[in-house]
Structure 1
């Protein structure tokens, strides 16, 4: 989980589904004003990315994020921010006017490793503080967000703007998948590599860990459907659990209804809006 969190935070910019992350550009001046003139006004956070370094806990103290799970926020160019909350991906519309900022309710995936209550609490608190944002300031490489009372609640350090990876023609490698009711996630069995490739001809294919598979798919901006998966019939004895994992993976892939991409992370979402599969692009 730590490696995955760091990978997301180092390169990301979700989805989503969930994806993915952008803020508007305003213009002033008359109709004859050229676009490159000094009258052009650009929203100041557009195109920037930030890693959380500290936040206001429930008890009022200022604390650092759990190791390896620091949230990332990316401001795009169409009034939407997105990123990783530490484990799950999120996005939300927002508005800036001068030094004030308003963030609308966050849409996020919702899957966690088992027994990670601290991470659940941190993500919930982060999203709560983000939606409560009232003002902000940028000083050098620090972004500070304050709540309605003027109290500082979130502090970020500037991060490199991550590049976005296309859904098609990318080899995606499974990093986590949901288990049980869909609210907890597991990592793939060590020694297995589950892959996913969307081809432009409408076919998805890859390795399910033991067997190769393929299927027709349909996709639009955030929706996806996978039909009639065909797989080879080999039976692998090792590593332990590989065949059970393969069945779970293919069943989850059949239930795909949407997706989000943040940087090099792909989340596949089912019809209930739950993130069921997480992938990372082949480096």
Structure 2
């Protein structure tokens, strides 16, 4: 992956719940735990984003991230955190109870610029520390995550709100998808293009690589459901693996339960809180789909 691609991945880190299709992302200004209109107590980190400024290295010292590759973390409204580990995108379910936090195993993309061993090591260390989280505290514009012993592992500074694109009126191009049990992430087969468009009549459509597909969909404030995916019946022989990829993609789309958008990146999430499909925005020519 070239430097431009790295910058695109590093700046995105999608994923704050978008309310009612195209409503702007809401970011909280602090750890507000006051009850909402229904009497529920708000999860204190939900809707906030943070840039990593320091982390605990393998040798125990506290160091700053490599220049230009600082990981970003975004806490979603439904118990899913997502972001950029510096180059690759990641997602994981999380739970908070008072000052304690638990992060489940991270699902991440797996692309790196050539000869970037330091970045590979930094990303691996960052993900390990994130899963080791046991407690947190917010002091002004600083978020500190500590391990079970109380030792500080990760220190973040509050990030500015990225400018997001709408779910509708955008053509989305698949960049990564999960395989197997959802623990690994793959890129589309070279030479294939998988797209997704949400229309305001409640129908989504696109190309699955070989065949065109469509399906009714429903969204609410916290999720999305896809029903009765219908596809054409063509069979493509090339490139190798295109039909297997298409089958996997359509199965993943059927299991959609939620979505997140930050910047020009969309992630579709399943019922277990795992990001299963990753897209980037692609604006078609013409007045109806212009880049904001």
TM normalised by structure 2 equals: 0.66
Distance 1:277 1:257 in 2: 11
SS of residue paired to 1:9? helix
Distance 1:123 1:240 in 2: 33
1:84 corresponds in structure 2 to 83
Q: Which of 74, 87, 101 is 1:105 aligned to?
A: 101
**Cα pair 2:256 2:269 within 8 Å, conserved:** yes
| 1:134 paired to 2:133 | no
SS of residue paired to 1:245? helix
SS of residue paired to 1:252? helix
SS of residue paired to 1:182? coil
1:31 corresponds in structure 2 to none
Structure 1 residues 81 and 22, CA, compared in 2 at 3 Å: closer, same or farther?
farther
The unaligned stretches of length 5 or more in structure 1 are 27-46, 95-101
2:263 corresponds in structure 1 to 263
Cα shift readout 1:123-151 (whole Å, capped 9, x = no counterpart): 2314645x64435466xxxx684869998
Distance 2:68 2:251 in 1: 30
Q: 1:245: Cα distance to partner?
A: 1.0
Cα shift readout 1:204-248 (whole Å, capped 9, x = no counterpart): 101111111111111112221111111122222222221211111
Distance 1:265 1:104 in 2: 29
SS of residue paired to 1:248? helix
| 1:7 paired to 2:8 | yes
Distance 1:258 1:127 in 2: 22
RMSD: 4.2
Task: From the CA coordinates, give the structure whose radius of gyration is larger.
Answer: 1
2:286 corresponds in structure 1 to none
Q: 1:270: Cα distance to partner?
A: 1.7
SS of residue paired to 1:52? strand
Q: 1:67: Cα distance to partner?
A: 8.5
Cα shift readout 1:164-211 (whole Å, capped 9, x = no counterpart): 222222211111101111110001111221111111101010111111
Distance 2:74 2:249 in 1: 30
Distance 2:240 2:210 in 1: 12
Count of residue pairs the alignment pairs up: 250
**Cα pair 1:162 1:263 within 8 Å, conserved:** yes
| 1:191 paired to 2:191 | yes
Q: Which of 20, 27, 31 is 1:22 aligned to?
A: 27
Alignment of 1:1-283 (within 5 A): 6-12=7-13, 14-16=15-17, 22-24=27-29, 51-65=51-65, 70-73=70-73, 84-86=83-85, 87-89=89-91, 105=101, 110-113=106-109, 119-126=123-130, 128=132, 132-134=135-137, 136=139, 145=144, 153-154=153-154, 161-282=161-282
Structure 1 residues 75 and 174, CA, compared in 2 at 3 Å: closer, same or farther?
closer
**Cα pair 2:73 2:81 within 8 Å, conserved:** yes
Structure 1 residues 158 and 205, CA, compared in 2 at 3 Å: closer, same or farther?
same
Q: 1:267: Cα distance to partner?
A: 1.4
**Cα pair 1:266 1:279 within 8 Å, conserved:** yes
